[in-house]
């Protein structure tokens, strides 16, 4: 799938035709130049485009790998990013030239779906080094109270 396949020619979809989209794209089109987020692996795109009434319907499955630092050890971690059954409807009146570019749509979907954080192997081996600074999930704060934790319950409001 070359960069030209970002384009859908609306006239070719008339009379019930469907355009099948399939291939790999270079991650360069994402233009992500963040210190803590990189896309170095190809973007796999599969899907279809067709017309329904006065709208262009795009149905995509997108898959790539995002690289970001581990929240524990700060080493780069590759995290799979998969967007399944993504649908987009674009009114034909917005497509003045008859050519619709998918580049912005795919880019926006990938960047918005990028993970906020990651951890090596799902559980960083260095986690034990910082365990003493983390809250113990087995200890619940005042779990017997129906109202939950009340941080200001001991304040004397009569003063």
Mean pLDDT of 79-93: 96
Q: How much is the pTM?
A: 0.75
Residue 13 placed within a domain: yes
Residue 51 placed within a domain: yes
Asked if the model's pLDDT at residue 145 lies above 80, the reply is no
Interacting residues of 20 by C-beta distance below 8 A, sequence separation 6+? 47, 48
Residue 147 placed within a domain: no
Nearest to 59 by CA among 101, 22, 87: 87
Q: Which domain holds residue 81?
A: 3-124
Residue 80 placed within a domain: yes
Summarize pLDDT for 11-42 with one digit per residue, the tens: 999 988 999 999 899 999 999 988 899 999 99
**Average pLDDT of the chain, as a whole number:** 87
Residue 133 placed within a domain: no
Residue 92 placed within a domain: yes
Domains in the chain: how many in total? Answer: 1
Mean pLDDT of 46-67: 96
Strand segments (E) across the chain: 7-9, 18-25, 43-52, 55-69, 76-91, 99-101
């Amino acid at each position: 799938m070359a960069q030209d396949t970002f384009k859908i020619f609306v006239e070719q979809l008339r009379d019930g035709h469907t355009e099948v989209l399939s291939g790999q794209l270079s991650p360069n089109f994402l233009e992500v130049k963040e210190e803590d987020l990189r896309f170095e692996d190809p973007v796999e795109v599969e899907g279809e485009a067709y017309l329904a009434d006065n709208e262009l319907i795009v149905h995509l499955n997108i898959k790539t790998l995002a690289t970001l630092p581990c929240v524990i050890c700060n080493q780069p971690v590759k995290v799979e990013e998969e967007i399944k059954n993504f649908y987009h409807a674009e009114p034909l009146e917005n497509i003045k030239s008859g050519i619709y570019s998918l580049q912005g749509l795919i880019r926006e979907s990938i960047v918005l779906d990028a993970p906020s954080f990651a951890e090596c192997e799902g559980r960083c081996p260095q986690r034990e080094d910082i365990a003493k600074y983390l809250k113990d999930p087995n200890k619940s704060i005042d779990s017997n109270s129906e109202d939950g934790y009340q941080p200001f319950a001991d304040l004397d409001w009569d003063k």
